[in-house]
Amino acid sequence: VVTDLQFLEGGVKLLSSSRDKVVILWDIIQLSSLKTIPVYESVESLIIVPDSSPVKFITAGEKGLLRTWNLDTGVCAQEQDKGPSDEGAITRLLLRPERNALAVVTYDHNITLRSLSSFDVERQFVGHNDEILDIRFLGREERFLAVATNSPHVRIFERETFNCQLLKGHTDTVVALDTFASDPTIFERETFNCQLLKGHTDTVVALDTFASDPTLLATVSKDNTVKLWRQQDDGFIECLFTGKGHTQGIGAVACSRLSASFLVTGSIECLFTGKGHTQGIGAVACSRLSASFLVTGSQDTTLKLWTVPERPRLIAIVDACAGAPMTSKLTVAAHEKDINGLAVAPNDQLIASASQDKTAKLWNTSDFSLLGTFRGHRRGVWNATFSPVDQVLATSSADTTIKLWSISDFSCVKTFEGHECSVLKVVFLAHGMQLLSSGADGNLKLWNVNANECVQTLDEHENKAWALAVSSDESLLITGGADSTILVWKDCTSEERQEALAKQEELILQEQQLSNLLKEKKWTKALQLALRLEHPFRALNIIKEILLEDESDEKLTKALSPLRDDQIDLLLKFASTWNTNSKHSAAAQAVLNVVLKSHSPRRLLALPNSRATIEAFIPYTER
């Protein structure tokens, strides 16, 4: 199959590529081949290097590498250095001569912009995200977003530009992520440039970061491993460790909150890769106070605690995708069914797990002893999260409810009802005074904890809203869902408050201005201002004041004549209401009389509310 054609020398010669692993130079005039160059791979695309002497061309194909060839000698003059993320075939090349760059399209619908001379990556674009399963802020200033997108690769987006980097290392779907609160990293938040982290061999389903170290990221996958990734100062991300041990897919992971010392999960990769779960890992959570540990939860119903070595940023990495092996410190058979979610308490002393067995459980971090079980949900529990200030735990469930639990006696404190579908995620906001939840119908709901009521519903997603992340200052909210979209939300509370305050101040000034106009008997301006403020009672008083003066008919006509059609329409609407009361009907009839005399029927019928106003006038006028 011939895959690409490029003309040379003003169209006299033609260069063709094919999946038969050769490039052929043709003479268009003689319709004959001049030279056959073996390139040792199926070629999908080729381009001529502009202004090259001797003539050079670049090929790309099944090997996923760019190579430059000398047309005269048929020798490969340059080959792209293969990086850990350079996997899979290249399907198309596009020359960007104005930028001296190449646009490279890969088989998995991603696009990279590379330097034409060095083949270095200048920018990476993600063509399709698939379902968004989990999302976390990453980096010391939260400039990046780490996203699990129903694939083995974790995508790191630069928030400003949306540039993307892939984290490769898992061998199955990544379903959960978390970062150490002190060290997170991946989508640049402002630009949404993206970096792809490759290493898992199956779908990545969860992520988490360490609150104390925002440059460390934990990911878990259906490949039964947990990986710990490190972001370097130049933005490059590599795998430190991989943890193995779960016997099924890991569904949850949690990182320590106080220090980056341990984690509980079913699989990890990046700086380290942990193995041990026997089925896919579905949840991960990182320690909060320092980058000290991780917790993972798996489809094999077990929790595993993984300790992060001290000073992980100084560890030398041999394989940026696999990282060093990591062994779990503690393992416990936690639930009867899949573990869907994990959370680490703000003080790193407690771990909460949420399961498909309709329960949530509280564990002691030091020895994994069970402290208690939260029972009350009628269906599987999707998520659990600790309050940042109170001794309570929030859980969300497939029974469409959110519950608040006391962690001292394990009783249900409150139940929030309002979602029509499964509640997939829940987080605390505003120092524990609010809850934000996401549902299987794509709706986000904001709840007032004290009032036990929903105060706002957001419905931008068109399918399940799996992922929900809030920036440390709570000014930004990131959501992702099964509709393959990532949405950035901004808290506009302060702006709305300022806007409301400004409107109130303007209203006070206008009220004072209206009072001044009434004192000065400037009826036309006073009436116009009363209409602008939509004050029917003030407008009625102005009409009555005019009617009390000498030559009231002429003065009323003069006051109404400068009014615009929209103001006349509003005044008639007010008058139809006054007409229902015998005390005010005289004023209403006077207004109607002046308007009918000074405006043609055609003009009045053109008013938006004219028909309704006339119908309202007739019955009370006939009385």
- Pick from 132, 129, 126: nearest CA to 438: 132
CA 406 to centroid of chain Cα atoms: 31
Which CATH fold topology does 500-622 show? Answer: 1.25.40
CB-based contacts of 229-233 (< 8 A; 24+ apart in sequence): 229/154, 229/167, 229/169, 229/185, 229/197, 229/269, 229/270, 229/271, 229/323, 230/270, 230/271, 230/312, 230/313, 230/315, 230/317, 231/138, 231/139, 231/144, 231/185, 231/186
pTM of the complete model: 0.65
E strand residue ranges, 116-235:
121-126, 134-138, 144-148, 154-160, 164-182, 191-212, 216-221, 225-231
- Three-state secondary structure readout of 13-58: EEEEEECCCEEEEEECCCCEEEEEEECCCCEEEEEECCCCCCCEEE
3-state secondary structure of 525: helix
Q: pLDDT class for 400, splitting at 50, 70, 90? A: very high
Strand partners, 428: 435
d(CA 71, CA 52): 10
pLDDT in tens, 353-378: 999 999 999 999 999 999 999 999 99
- Pick from 509, 502, 571: nearest CA to 534: 571
pLDDT higher than threshold 50 for residue 536:
yes
Token pair 């980058």 is found at 291
Q: pLDDT class for 254, splitting at 50, 70, 90? A: low
d(CA 320, CA 240): 7
3-state DSSP helix/strand/coil % of the chain, to nearest 5: 20, 45, 35
Can you read off the two tokens belonging to residue 183?
């060290």
Average pLDDT rounded to a whole number, residues 319-343: 84
Cβ distance 400 to 434 under 8 Å?
no
pLDDT higher than threshold 50 for residue 184:
no
User: Any idea how long the chain is?
Assistant: 623
Predicted local confidence at residue 369, as pLDDT:
95
How crowded is residue 215: how many other Cβ atoms within 10 Å of its Cβ?
26
* From 242-246, 407-411, 443-447, 496-500, the region with the lowest mean pLDDT: 242-246
Q: pLDDT class for 143, splitting at 50, 70, 90? A: confident
Question: Which percentage of the chain shows pLDDT scores above 70?
Answer: 84
> Mean of the per-residue pLDDT values for the chain?
83
Helix (H) or strand (E) holding 3: strand 2-8
3-state secondary structure of 217: strand
d(CA 187, CA 191): 8
Q: What's the CATH code, domain 128-375?
A: 2.40.128.630
pLDDT higher than threshold 70 for residue 239:
no
CA 28 to centroid of chain Cα atoms: 53
Q: pLDDT class for 316, splitting at 50, 70, 90? A: low
Side chain identity at 574, as an amino acid letter? F
Q: Which residue has the higher pLDDT, 350 or 253?
A: 350
pLDDT higher than threshold 60 for residue 499:
yes
Let me know if the fold of 128-375 is the same as that of 500-622.
no
Distances (CA, A) of 42 to 21, 46, 75: 5, 11, 17
CA 612 to centroid of chain Cα atoms: 47
How crowded is residue 574: how many other Cβ atoms within 10 Å of its Cβ?
23
Distances (CA, A) of 296 to 225, 581, 595: 9, 72, 76
Pairing verdict, β 225-231 and 302-307? unpaired
Distances (CA, A) of 36 to 23, 40, 69, 137, 385: 6, 12, 12, 52, 64
Average pLDDT rounded to a whole number, residues 308-325: 62
**Strand order across the beta sheet in which 13-18 lies:** 2-8, 13-18, 22-27, 32-38
Helix (H) or strand (E) holding 545: helix 536-547
Question: CB neighbours of 433 closer than 8 A, spacing ≥ 6?
Answer: 448, 449, 450
- Three-state secondary structure readout of 393-423: EEEEECCCEEEEEECCCCCEEEEEECCCCCE
Strand partners, 372: 362
Q: Which residue has the higher pLDDT, 3 or 140?
A: 3
Predicted local confidence at residue 182, as pLDDT:
45
Question: CB neighbours of 508 closer than 8 A, spacing ≥ 6?
Answer: none
pLDDT higher than threshold 50 for residue 262:
no
pLDDT higher than threshold 50 for residue 269:
no
Can you read off the two tokens belonging to residue 3?
């895959």
Question: Which percentage of the chain shows pLDDT scores above 90?
Answer: 33
Which listed CATH number (2.60.40, 1.10.8, 2.40.128, 2.60.120) goes with 2-106? 2.40.128
pLDDT higher than threshold 50 for residue 187:
no
How crowded is residue 62: how many other Cβ atoms within 10 Å of its Cβ?
16
Q: Which residue has the higher pLDDT, 199 or 386?
A: 386
d(CA 375, CA 179): 29
Cβ distance 571 to 565 under 8 Å?
no
CA 471 to centroid of chain Cα atoms: 11
What residue segments make up the domains of the chain, in order of their start? Answer: 2-106, 128-375, 396-491, 500-622
pLDDT higher than threshold 90 for residue 199:
no
* From 169-178, 399-408, 425-434, the region with the lowest mean pLDDT: 169-178
Phi, psi of 45 (to 5 degrees): -160, 150
Predicted local confidence at residue 409, as pLDDT:
95
Question: CB neighbours of 286 closer than 8 A, spacing ≥ 6?
Answer: 178, 179, 180, 181, 208, 209, 210, 211, 216, 218, 253, 254, 255, 256, 257, 260, 263, 293, 294, 344
